[in-house]
Structures are given as structure tokens and as C-alpha cells.
Amino acid sequence: MATHKMIANKAMTYRTRRLQADEPFEARTRRDFAALKITNKARADDGSAQDPPDEPAVADIAALRAEYQARFDKRPFMGWSADQLREKLAES
């Protein structure tokens, strides 16, 4: 099965996966590749794009979520990145 490398133009979902803007992914079919390109949801990855930044370790995010829950007495949104959690904690 051939795959086609793409980069999301905006936040979207593709095959139950939530993608952020400029996040690389692979379209599974030629039809998906064409449809995503035509609707301007994604562009072809020509290899010139920079690698995505390294994600913090899962333990770091878990610690930030625990700190958020302790401070606000509610669970944080699980889609927030480590940077977003740090911002929310800094605001309080």
C-alpha cells in the first residue's frame, strides 16, 4: 500500500487522529491525498520542511497535568500540550 507524505495546513482530524497545523502525516490513499490537497486542508511534504519539534517526555506532561489538577481542583484538557499547560499554570 502506497502512502503519501503530507503536512496539515490547519488543525484537523484525519482517520481519527487529531492533527495540529504544520504537523506531518501520511495519507493512506491517493484519493485521500487528492481530496486533502484540493480542499486546502493539507499540502504535499516535499521534504524541505523542518522536522517537528521534539515533544516533551510523557512524564513531563503527566507532572504538569498533576500540578494543574492540584492547583485548580479539576482535570486539564487532555489535548493541551506541555507549553499550553505551562501557560495555564503561569496565568494563575
Domain limits of the chain? 4-44, 58-91
Stated pTM of the model: 0.48
Q: Give the residue carrying C-alpha cell 495540529.
A: 20
Query: Given the DSSP bridges, would you call strands 12-14 and 17-19 parallel, antiparallel or unpaired?
Result: antiparallel
H/E element, 20: none
DSSP H or E stretch at residue 63: helix 58-72
Any residues with CB less than 8 A from the CB of 35 and at least 6 apart, and which? none
**40 in Cβ contact with 57 (< 8 Å):** no
Tell me the per-residue pLDDT of 28-79, one tens digit each, with 9 for 90 and over. 988 999 899 999 999 998 865 554 455 556 678 889 999 999 999 999 998 8
What was the pLDDT predicted at 14?
93
Amino acid at 20: Q
pLDDT number for residue 1: 47
